[in-house]
Amino acid sequence: GAGVSQSPSNKVTEKGKDVELRCDPISGHTALYWYRQSLGQGLEFLIYFQGNSAPDKSGLPSDRFSAERTGGSVSTLTIQRTQQEDSAVYLCASSLVAGGGTDTQYFGPGTRLTVL
């Protein structure tokens, strides 16, 4: 079956612009996570969805970052007024449920964001 997909694969934007990153999880997966991978900070958690609700937003670095999930499926991560330090690869992962490490998180290929 289809895996986790993300779009766009690459995004180059100018400082101060808004960007939207999309994640299509595996069908039927109720848990969805966003992570960020950067050279300086490694892999960092951003936000967790269970269904359409986000019970854990603790990793969002500032109020310029927001995310939503609709229909228990597609999720969009929005970064407003982008800064150069936002440049990173944004990864989405989904799992059947969030449960005790018994449900593997499957990762998408990522969106590479470059802020000029």
Partner 1 sequence: GNSVTQMEGPVTLSEEAFLTINCTYTATGYPSLFWYVQYPGEGLQLLLKATKADDKGSNKGFEATYRKETTSFHLEKGSVQVSDSAVYFCALSDQGSNYKLTFGKGTLLTVNP
Q: Which residues sit at the interface with partner 1, rule CB under 8 A?
A: 31, 33, 35, 42-45, 48, 55-56, 59, 91, 93, 95, 98-110
Closer by beta carbon to partner 1, 60 or else 82: 60
Name the nearest CA neighbour of 66 among 51, 74, 54: 54
Closer by beta carbon to partner 1, 41 or else 80: 41
Sign of CA dihedral 11, 13, 15, 20: negative
Closer by beta carbon to partner 1, 58 or else 70: 58
CA angle 25, 101, 27 (to 5 degrees): 20
Give least dist CB 74 to partner 1, A.
Answer: 18
Closer by beta carbon to partner 1, 1 or else 101: 101
What residue type is 71 in one-letter code? G
Provide the β-strand partners of residue 43.
37
Name the nearest CA neighbour of 114 among 92, 89, 91: 89
Please give the structure tokens belonging to residue 47: 């936000």
Question: For tokens 């969030």, what's the residue?
Answer: 98
Give least dist CB 91 to partner 1, A.
Answer: 7
Give least dist CB 40 to partner 1, A.
Answer: 10
Give least dist CB 16 to partner 1, A.
Answer: 30
